[in-house]
Amino acid sequence: AILQKSSLSVEIEVRPRQLVPDTNCFIDYLGQLQCITRATSGTLPLFTLMIPLV
C-alpha cells in the first residue's frame, strides 16, 4: 500500500576505471586502444588497460 503511493527514481552512472578489451580488438582497433591509454584527467590517466594473459 505504501509503495503504491510513492515512486522513487534512481539513476546510476557507471564510470569504469579498468578496461579489459577483447583480444580480437588488438588487431582491428589498436589505434583506438592506444588513444584510450593516453586519455587523462589533468595528470591522472582516466583508464587502466588490463591485458589478459593466456
> Could you please report the per-residue DSSP string of 20-36?
---TTHHHHSHHHHHHH
Cell digits of residue 22: 577483447
User: Is 25 contained in some domain?
Assistant: yes
3-state secondary structure of 1: coil
User: Is 8 contained in some domain?
Assistant: no
User: Is 1 contained in some domain?
Assistant: no
* The predicted structure's pLDDT at residue 27: 78
pLDDT digits (tens, 9 = 90+) for 1-54: 555 666 788 999 998 999 998 877 777 888 888 999 899 999 999 999 998 787
Domain that holds residue 43: 14-54
| Cβ atoms 9, 39 nearer than 8 A | no
3-state secondary structure of 44: strand
User: Is 50 contained in some domain?
Assistant: yes
User: Is 9 contained in some domain?
Assistant: no
